[in-house]
């Protein structure tokens, strides 16, 4: 099952959204802003500069060269190995997430170019069960890195995830074994892995793959961490700094390499990719 074969996919979605409300209220400044204007502005409030949430599609559109999108994801969807049920059965949760996002899983995987440099890029969809990593996402990320090896190009991963998918229990946690092994192969092939952390990049996703980039760029306003603030605070019984788990804190403590504003992310990526390309000549 391949949902987005070509650019048609994006057009269909934009048309669908055009029917929805024309205005939205900015939570930060309280102003009513024209939705189209916000969209054209990378989902940044034209009035106060606040970042609105980006879907995976909007994010990938904002980063890659126009017309360069080619879906390279594997045609797989999640199974329910544990027969898991919380408020609702896991299969129902999956169906609802697919319906809501129009995606088969919580990640879009594409071959594309950024500033004419070919890449394989994965972008997580937070609205799909919190962008959580289960067996399918782990498999797609591994497949993405294998595609990058096949195509001899860099791998770019844009994370937006709360962590491992609890509905898959240990199967979700096991993804780390796969992703780190394939990531090591990518390194052995001397192909760069650029990790982009956005709001939020936490838990099992941060641990399993996002923190393993050769270069790690965080979007301004990203939340970066493993366990939740409250859990850490109670475990170590100490007050945490105010900016704990912010992108600024992560940069200060050497966990990431760069912080970029959303509007600069594309050029920042192009610069880093260009640097690696120079290095291979
Ligand atoms: Zn605003």
pLDDT in tens, 119-144: 999 999 999 999 999 999 999 999 99
Rounded CA gap, 31 and 44, in Å?
13
Residues around the ion ligand 1 (C-beta < 5 A): 26, 28-29, 45, 47-48, 50
Q: What is the pLDDT of residue 281?
A: 59
Q: What is the pLDDT of residue 2?
A: 39
Average pLDDT (26-30) is 90
Mean residue pLDDT of the chain comes to 91
Report how far residue 193's alpha carbon sits from residue 212's, in angstroms, rounded to the nearest whole number: 8
Structure tokens at 59: 């994010």
The answer to whether 119 and 155 are in contact (CB under 8 A) is yes
CA of 30 to the centre of ligand 1 (A): 6
pLDDT in tens, 184-221: 999 999 999 999 999 999 999 999 999 999 999 999 99
- 49-69 pLDDT, tens digit per residue, is 999 989 999 999 999 999 999
> Has residue 201 been placed in a domain?
yes
Q: Exposure of 102 by Cβ count < 10 A (0-12 exposed, 13-18 middle, 19+ buried)?
A: middle
Distance (Å) from CA 110 to ligand 1 centroid: 32
pLDDT in tens, 211-250: 999 999 999 999 999 998 899 999 999 999 999 999 999 9
Residue 30 lies in a domain: no
- Beta-bridge partners for 210: none
- Look at residue 108 and tell me if it is in a domain: yes
Residue 13, pLDDT > 50, answer no
Q: Is there a domain that residue 38 lies in?
A: no
- Count of domains in the chain? 1
Contacting residues for 199 by C-beta, under 8 A, at least 6 apart: 51, 160, 219, 221, 222, 223
Model confidence at 21: pLDDT above 80 = no
Distance 58 CA to ligand 1 centre (A): 19
| Domain membership flag for residue 21 | no
Residue 78 has pLDDT above 90, yes or no: yes
pLDDT at 104 over 50: yes
Q: How many CA atoms lie within 13 A of 52 on its CB side?
A: 24
More confident: 18 or 53? 53
- Domain membership of residue 44 (yes or no) is no
Distance 126 CA to ligand 1 centre (A): 22
pLDDT at res. 15: 45
In a domain, 181, yes or no: yes
- Whole-number Å distance, alpha carbon 25 to ligand 1 midpoint, is 8
Asked whether residue 109 is assigned to any structural domain, the reply reads yes
- What is the value of pTM for the model shown? 0.90
Host domain of residue 184 = 54-280
Cα of 264 vs centre of ligand 1, distance in Å, is 19
**Can you give the CATH number for the domain in which 162 is found?**
3.90.226.10
Question: At residue 3, does pLDDT exceed 60?
Answer: no
């Amino acid at each position: 099952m391949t949902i987005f074969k070509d650019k048609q996919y994006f057009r269909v979605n934009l048309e669908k959204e055009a029917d929805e409300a024309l205005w939205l209220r900015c939570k930060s400044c309280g102003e009513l802003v024209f939705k189209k204007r916000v969209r054209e502005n990378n989902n940044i409030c034209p009035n106060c500069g606040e970042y609105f949430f980006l879907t995976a599609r909007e994010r990938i559109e904002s980063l890659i060269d126009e017309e360069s999108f080619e879906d390279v994801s594997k045609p797989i969807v999640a199974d329910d190995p544990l027969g898991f049920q919380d408020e609702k059965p896991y299969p129902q949760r999956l169906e609802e997430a697919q319906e809501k996002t129009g995606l088969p899983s919580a990640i879009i995987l594409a071959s594309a170019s950024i500033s004419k440099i070919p890449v394989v890029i994965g972008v997580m969809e937070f609205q799909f069960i919190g962008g959580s990593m289960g067996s399918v996402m782990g498999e797609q990320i591994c497949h993405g890195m294998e595609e990058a090896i096949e195509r001899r190009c860099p791998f770019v991963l844009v994370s937006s995830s709360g962590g491992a998918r609890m509905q898959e229990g240990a199967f979700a946690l096991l993804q780390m074994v796969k992703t780190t092994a394939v990531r090591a192969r990518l390194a052995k092939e001397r192909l760069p892995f650029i990790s982009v952390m956005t709001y939020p990049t936490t838990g099992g996703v941060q641990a399993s793959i996002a923190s393993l980039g050769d270069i790690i760029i965080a979007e301004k306003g990203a939340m970066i961490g493993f366990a939740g603030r409250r859990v850490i605070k109670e475990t170590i019984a100490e007050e945490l700094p105010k900016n704990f788990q912010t992108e600024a804190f992560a940069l200060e403590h050497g966990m990431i390499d760069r912080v970029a504003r959303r509007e600069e992310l594309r050029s920042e990526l192009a610069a880093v990719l260009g640097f690696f390309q120079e290095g291979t000549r």
